[in-house]
Amino acid sequence: MPRVIVTRPAREAAHWVQLLGARGVDAVALPLIAIGPCRDAAAEQALTQAHVRLAQYRALMFVSGNAVVHFFEQNKVLALAGKAQPAIKTRAWAPGPGTVRALEQAGVPSGCIDGPAPDAPQFDSEALWQQVATQIRPGDRVLIVRGRSAPPQGEHESQGNGRDWLARQIEAAGGMVEFVVAYQRGAPHFSAHEVALAQQAAHDGSIWLLSSSEAVAHLAEALPGQHWGAAHALATHPRIAEAARAAGFGVVRECRPALEDVVASIESAA
């Protein structure tokens, strides 16, 4: 069975390496997106204000597990200052099982969490909207908790992504949407060992498990001039597959982002 290069951010990558290893898959983490707190003063102030207004929202939509982690980290900061807000009592929306898991670990009751059905074709904003559309009434406010890319990607990051599509659906239903930045994404800083791993995986039959088109862009930036024609990619969304093909990956397959589907695709490639 081929080795799998897990490219998710470090926290999720470690989780996936563990899951795949338990299924007998040789997996190694090579995060292509670095995650950290947002140090922009205006963004931090907006995040604090959002915590103060939690009860005013019909729902909070978290774009990822990292959004959950950094959103609730802010509540810990407020707790140290004696300004912590009570636990979320509004609905918490999650686009996939990883975000659901992060919400549960943060202490949000499972009965307050909405997400795509386990058998949904995709775990994304479109699948989420099918589950939550009936919750929105005219005048309802929804807070979308997101990350922000470091420049220069951040200048154009809002074009055509799932959260903007979701915002349009909410507004079409009469709701109002606010965005708040909870964390920052950036390009990875590869060590010499990681550069060597990536270069080898470009031609040795390894499978690149790609879960973000931004990660594909970071890979191309980290290894300029690298030829990807002999590389194999497994993309968990059509948009990611498109980015991998544009980057030059010779073999690109698509599958649902659920563990069972990922393992089945890896096994079929053996």
pLDDT of residue 151: 56
Instruction: Tell me the mean pLDDT in the region 230-239.
Output: 96
Give the position of tokens 């959950």. 68
Band of the pLDDT at 270, cuts 50, 70, 90?
Answer: confident
Degrees, nearest 5: CA angle 166-171-175: 110
What is the β-pairing status of strands 176-186 and 232-235? Answer: unpaired
> What distance in Å separates the CA atoms of residue 99 and residue 142, rounded to the nearest whole number?
17
pLDDT of residue 153: 43
Band of the pLDDT at 93, cuts 50, 70, 90?
Answer: very high
> What distance in Å separates the CA atoms of residue 28 and residue 142, rounded to the nearest whole number?
37
Record the pTM. 0.85
Tens of pLDDT along 252-262? 999 999 999 99
Ordered alpha helix ranges (H), the chain? 10-22, 41-52, 65-80, 97-105, 125-132, 162-172, 192-201, 213-222, 238-247, 259-269
What is the β-pairing status of strands 207-210 and 113-114? Answer: unpaired
Instruction: Tell me the mean pLDDT in the region 106-124.
Output: 90
Instruction: Tell me the mean pLDDT in the region 214-224.
Output: 95
- Are 244 and 216 in contact by the 8 Å Cβ rule? The answer is yes
Picking from 83-87, 127-131, 227-231, which range would have the lowest pLDDT averaged per residue? Answer: 83-87
> What distance in Å separates the CA atoms of residue 255 and residue 234, rounded to the nearest whole number?
7
Hey, how many other C-beta atoms are within 10 angstroms of the C-beta on 53? 12
Picking from 6-15, 53-62, 80-89, which range would have the lowest pLDDT averaged per residue? Answer: 80-89
Band of the pLDDT at 171, cuts 50, 70, 90?
Answer: very high
Is pLDDT at 149 greater than 50 in this prediction?
yes
C-alpha to C-alpha distances, 191 to 56, 151, 194, 205, nearest whole angstrom: 45, 22, 5, 22
Residue at 186: amino acid letter: G
DSSP 108: -
Percentage of the chain with pLDDT > 70? 90
Hey, how many other C-beta atoms are within 10 angstroms of the C-beta on 77? 15
Tens of pLDDT along 37-84? 888 889 888 988 888 888 899 999 999 999 999 998 866 544 444 444
- Are 99 and 113 in contact by the 8 Å Cβ rule? The answer is no
pLDDT of residue 74: 67
